[in-house]
Amino acid sequence: MPNTPEVNTPEASELAPKIDKTITKAEKAAAKAEKAAAKAQKAAAKVEKTQQAQIAKVEKAAAKAAEEEKALSEKAQKASEKVEKVQQEHQEQIEKVQQSKEKIEKANLKAEKANAKVEKANVKANKALEKAKKKNPDVVITAPVQKVSKVNIENLKQKFSKEQLETLKQKAKDIDIKEVSKSAAIATKNKGKELWERNKKSDGQYFKSVVFNISYKIFRAILLFGLCFLIIQPLLNKFALSIMPEADLYDPSVITVPRNPTLDNYKLVPEIVDFYGSLLNTVWVSALVAIVQVSSCVLVGYGFARFNFPLKKFWFACVLLIIIVPPQTITSSLYLHFRFFDVLGIFQHFTGETVNMHNSILPYLLMCLGGIGLKSGLYVFLLNQFFRGIPKELEEAAYVDGCSTFRTFLNIMLPNAKAIITACFLFAFVWQWTDIYYSRIFLGNVDLIAKTLPSISEALAVHFSALYGSGAKPSIAYTDAILSTGLLMTIVPLLIIYIVFQKSFVESLSQTGLKM
């Protein structure tokens, strides 16, 4: 017979036989579920001997769990873990058991559905019993909570009359708040005594550790605030200058906050320089360069992480040299190479002269494809560290399923590397956005923001001479305000990009280089 709840009130005693009935119904439902499982086991009995042994283990575990009357939720968890183990072992024998795989998957689905229903019934039963305890604290339940099924809850809801609920509410109202507060105060005193005794037992080390942790948190907060202030304070000053009219620049009473804020400076910058044209050119150049650069670096990083080839360490040392050696050291060689560009003398043989590739984006794209673009060594290093951290078992499983090397890289490795690829793309885009070195060498005829921003002061002087005569010049303070405005207009697109891709950017930095 199932355990029945011990009651102290007549209302609860009347419910005891009804609860027993519902529990017996639940046991019958469990017996039906066991019969359904037996049918599924018979259907799976046609599998090979190795699978029959594994399924027999699952049946024995399920029979033992049913006999011992353990919690149905624990049964579901154990069954799911064992099913996962069986599936892992089956993966090693995929070639031998492909014909019987469909039957096993159907049986697993049925078991998972049954387990899900059992878990839902357990959750609802626990909630119902907790509500009953709250409404009637005099009831002492000795039967295990896991034995109450979904049918029990529905019957309890139907058989609790309104009068019984009202009496329970009145009992709850009669609880003295002062007694509760006294018990809480006693509990806090007991905790204080326990802490003091704990400190005595540790010879004062407990309180010292608490004080150290609090002081460390305060110091860390102050340090982080100082670092954030150092980063944000210059931007705030630039923003204040950008919305100041010229009169506030010479007013000694105005320090940071302008007295008469205005947006005239933001209107003036596009008038004196072709800001929007250079912005559009910078967007497509930076996006194209970043895509080409990241594409080549992904292939190189994956090759270093997964394949062995002659002089692998030497070539990876060359990648590190690209990070260490500044690009200015090869300026003359780059200029001469692309000024007189030729491939094994083919162009000069057929045309009589070499190709001048300056004032074109092609040289820079060729460098990015070759893995020697701006900061390409850093991207290769980051991608290499990330791919080395991915378990090789994923690729081996793909090879067993019949995937080629390229398909494994395309369908498995690239989706897992979305975060680091996004971070490398952001780095490449931002560095190209503000790059002057390569832009002046290869893109001298394209107006970019990096080249337009330094010319704002000259354009402002020309604008003043056109308005007020040839001798008129803008003041240093006003020139600084216009430069600050142009700088902020240049930074805004980058801030928007970082805000959009912030999650992927942080994930990539946290996952890169963890496993060596």
Nearest 5°: phi and psi at 355? -105, 130
pLDDT at 387 over 80: yes
pLDDT of residue 122: 63
Q: How many other CB atoms are found less than 10 A from the CB of residue 100? A: 15
Q: Look up residue 42 and give its two tokens.
A: 């018979």
- DSSP letters, 13-35, are HHHHHHHHHHHHHHHHHHHHHHH
The SS3 assignment for 140 reads strand
pLDDT of residue 148: 38
Q: Which of 147 and 388 is assigned the larger pLDDT?
A: 388
pLDDT at 13 over 70: no
pLDDT of residue 182: 55
pLDDT of residue 152: 45
> How far out from the chain centre does Cα 187 lie?
41
Q: What percent of the chain has a predicted confidence (pLDDT) above 70? A: 65
Distinct helix (H) and strand (E) counts, the chain: 25, 0
CA separation for the pair 362, 357 (Å, rounded) = 7
Instruction: Average the pLDDT over 151-172 and give the result.
Output: 52
> How far out from the chain centre does Cα 369 lie?
29
pLDDT of residue 255: 78
Give the ranges where 136-204 is alpha helix by DSSP (H): 150-159, 162-173, 177-201
pLDDT at 139 over 60: no
Query: For residue range 423-434, what is the model confidence (pLDDT) as tens digits?
Result: 889 889 988 888
CA separation for the pair 15, 156 (Å, rounded) = 8
Query: For residue range 388-407, what is the model confidence (pLDDT) as tens digits?
Result: 888 888 888 888 888 888 88
Q: How confident is residue 295, by pLDDT bands cut at 50, 70 and 90?
A: very high
pLDDT of residue 154: 45
Instruction: Report the predicted TM-score, pTM, of the whole model to 2 decimal places.
Output: 0.55
Please provide the average confidence, as pLDDT, over all residues in the chain.
74
Instruction: With residue 352 as reference, give the H or E element that holds it.
Output: none
Q: How many other CB atoms are found less than 10 A from the CB of residue 259? A: 11
The SS3 assignment for 355 reads strand
CA separation for the pair 350, 291 (Å, rounded) = 34
Q: Which of 200 and 4 is assigned the larger pLDDT?
A: 200
User: Is residue 72 packed enough to be buried (19+ CB in 10 Å), middle (13-18) or exposed (0-12)?
Assistant: buried
pLDDT of residue 296: 92
Query: For residue range 178-200, what is the model confidence (pLDDT) as tens digits?
Result: 554 555 556 565 666 676 777 67
CA separation for the pair 385, 366 (Å, rounded) = 25
- DSSP letters, 82-135, are HHHHHHHHHHHTTTTSTTTHHHHHHHHHHHHHHHHHHHHHHHHHHHHHHHHHHH
Query: For residue range 206-236, what is the model confidence (pLDDT) as tens digits?
Result: 777 888 889 999 999 999 998 888 888 888 8
pLDDT of residue 293: 92
Query: For residue range 111-136, what is the model confidence (pLDDT) as tens digits?
Result: 666 666 656 666 665 666 565 555 55
Query: For residue range 38-85, what is the model confidence (pLDDT) as tens digits?
Result: 776 776 666 566 666 666 665 675 566 456 656 555 655 665 566 567
DSSP state of 341: B
pLDDT of residue 14: 66
> How far out from the chain centre does Cα 78 lie?
30
Contact, 285 vs 432, CB < 8 A?
yes
CA separation for the pair 323, 291 (Å, rounded) = 20
pLDDT of residue 7: 46
The CA–CA distances, whole Å, from 273 to 109, 278, 286 equal 67, 9, 20
Q: How many other CB atoms are found less than 10 A from the CB of residue 384? A: 22
Query: For residue range 317-366, what is the model confidence (pLDDT) as tens digits?
Result: 988 888 888 888 888 888 888 888 888 878 777 887 888 777 778 888 88
DSSP state of 516: -
CA separation for the pair 474, 461 (Å, rounded) = 6
Instruction: Average the pLDDT over 444-473 and give the result.
Output: 81
